[in-house]
Structure 1
Amino acid sequence: MRGERLGRGHRPLLSYGVRVDSHTVRENSHTVQVPVHCTRPRRGRRMAKRPTSVWTRPQKARREQPTLSRDQIVAATLELLDAEGLGGLSMRRLGTRLNAGATSVYWHVTNKDELLELALDHVMAEVRTPDPAAHGWRAAVIGYARSLRTMIHRHPWTVPLFGSRPMLGPNAARAMDGLLGACGQAGFSAYDLEYAQAVVNDYVIGAAGSEASWRANQEEFSTEDWMASMGPYLEVTGERHPRLTAHLREVWAKESGEVMDGRFTFGLGCLLDGLEARAQDRAPGVR
């Protein structure tokens, strides 16, 4: 009996990295979902490419000692990224900085994405999480959040890389394991544990990324310079948006590192209050 296609909204049987064939068939009134590896590829169709990572790719055989070590390449990469951002990094410029040919770089990585994986994991070593067993889950999350924020301020080029690829390196794994331990001690597990760590990371990356962007683009001007420049404009907009104008004059005019830190602390505290309340709602015996 010929197979009958189901609707596009039909949910695949397998997930988490195991791809299921795009069609589902009915045979003898039974629904059958067939994984790709159990079917022959159609003639003329190429097999799907698998994602790669510098951490999962098998290491090359050491037939010859490379001219440069991985640490040397990562150090030069960080110098370029910290000085010029993601736009300033290319394999050619890296080779020039190292005074070496591309062959030496490609011995360690196959492309620029893998190079960025190494660089991101290197700076993740700066992120620390206090022991939740000794300090409590809340203090541990605060320590992690502040540590991650400081790292992003030092290396703002990291912001677009978060979420672009799985972070599989040893330093990122250690940092994530520490955050999961803290959120787990708060009472979260399974999917709720995933959601808890994600909301912490999303808040820190968003807040710290915005702070780093502001700092990088305001090196020439102070807040006072901006307020003086906007004076006539605020006089006009004050009639249409009185609350915003009053707030800008009261708070934004005093923008400083202290105000910025207070804003981050306030937001983090609200987030943790919400997580704590959610964890209590899910505690056994709590209605």
Structure 2
Amino acid sequence: MAETKKAKKKPESVWTRPARAKREQPSLGREQIVDAALELLDAEGLDGLSMRRLGTRLNSGATSVYWHVTNKDELLELALDRVMGEVRVPAPDGGGWRDAVAGYARSLRTMIHRHPWTVPLFGVQPMIGPNATRVLEEVIVAFDGAGLTGMDLENAMSLIADYVIGAAGSEASWQNTRDAATGEDWLETLAPYLAEIADRHPRLTAHIRDVWARETADVLEQRFDYGLSCVLAGIEAHRPR
């Protein structure tokens, strides 16, 4: 018997769903719903958001919420696009494309630090909301002068985004789960353990003692700037000549 081929599910997005007639719209607006969702997400992360909790927070029945979004995935699309509105991309004037792209990278990083719940959402859905498309259009313009088109441009844009999302996500996780403990705090806690492993791993323990004795914020800034400069240099080196 021939195996039945499973039908491929058509991708869906809140941005492509046809708008409903205004006369049917409840008093509760989409902006209010996204505002409440962001409050939950910023306070408790992705696990803190549910349609039930959102309805309770809004003092509204599920009907009003589901009029605007059919499920949590659509709600997250709206929330992600809302915070993408915080990202700024400098025009490539004066300093050239590298300064403009670096400005975008730092702005994206700042947004992720404010909203670390965004990290797992990047790449789940195409970024096609109004704020995201504005940012992506400006990033393409920021790369003017680099001489990149087609897949070369796509690869460069993806490389910048992947670096920032990875670095900022890791930084946010560290800062949010360590209760603002400094490197020196950790050195004090780890001192007996480092002494125990020093004979087996002398280079590592010396490195930890050196780096963690520094101000944590300064280490994170230097690390991010170093990585970003390496990424930009790599893009420069691979530009078509």
Q: TM-score range by the shorter chain?
A: over 0.9
Match of 1:214 among 174, 179, 197: 174
Q: Which residue of 2 aligns with 1:23?
A: none
Contact 2:89 2:103 in 1 (8 A): yes
Counterpart residue type for residue 247 of structure 1:
H
**Cross-structure match for 1:33:** none
Q: Are the aligned partners of 1:74 and 1:119 in contact in 2 as well (CA < 8 Å)?
A: yes
Structure 1 equivalent of residue 229 of structure 2: 269
Is 2:3 the counterpart of 1:54?
no
* 1:129 paired residue among 73, 89, 95: 89
Amino acid at match of 1:50: K
TM-score (norm 1): 0.80
Give 2:177's aligned amino acid.
Answer: N
What runs of 5+ residues in structure 2 fail to find an aligned partner? none
C-alpha contact 2:184 2:212 (8 A) present in aligned 1: no
Contact 2:84 2:131 in 1 (8 A): yes
Aligned length: 240
Work out the CA distance in 1 between the residues paired with 2:197 and 2:27: 62
Verify the 8 A CA contact 2:92 2:144 in the aligned structure 1: no
- Please tell me the residue identity of whatever aligns with 1:131: A
- The CA distance in 1 between the partners of 2:138 and 2:85, in whole Å, is 12
- More helix per residue: 1 or 2? 2
In the alignment, structure 1 residue 146 sits paired with structure 2 residue 106: yes
For structure 1, which segment, 59-68 or 161-170, has the greater mean C-alpha deviation from structure 2 after superposition? 59-68
Give 1:233's aligned amino acid: Y
Question: 1:6-25 CA deviation, whole Å, 9 max, x = no partner?
Answer: xxxxxxxxxxxxxxxxxxxx
Structure 1 match to 2:71: 111
Tell me which residue corresponds to 1:183.
143
Tell me if 1:224 matches 2:173: no
1:248-281: CA deviation from partner (whole Å, max 9, x where unpaired): 00112224212211110111011111111111xx
TM-score (norm 2): 0.94
**% identical aligned pairs:** 63
| d(CA) in 1 for partners of 2:235, 2:69 | 40
Q: Within 5 Å, which residues of 2 pair with 1:1-287? A: 47-219=7-179, 221-279=181-239, 282-283=240-241
State the 1:67 CA deviation: 2.2
Contact 1:95 1:101 in 2 (8 A): yes
Q: What is the CA distance between 1:63 and its match in structure 2?
A: 3.1
Q: Contact conserved, 1:138 with 1:272, CA < 8 A, in 2? A: yes
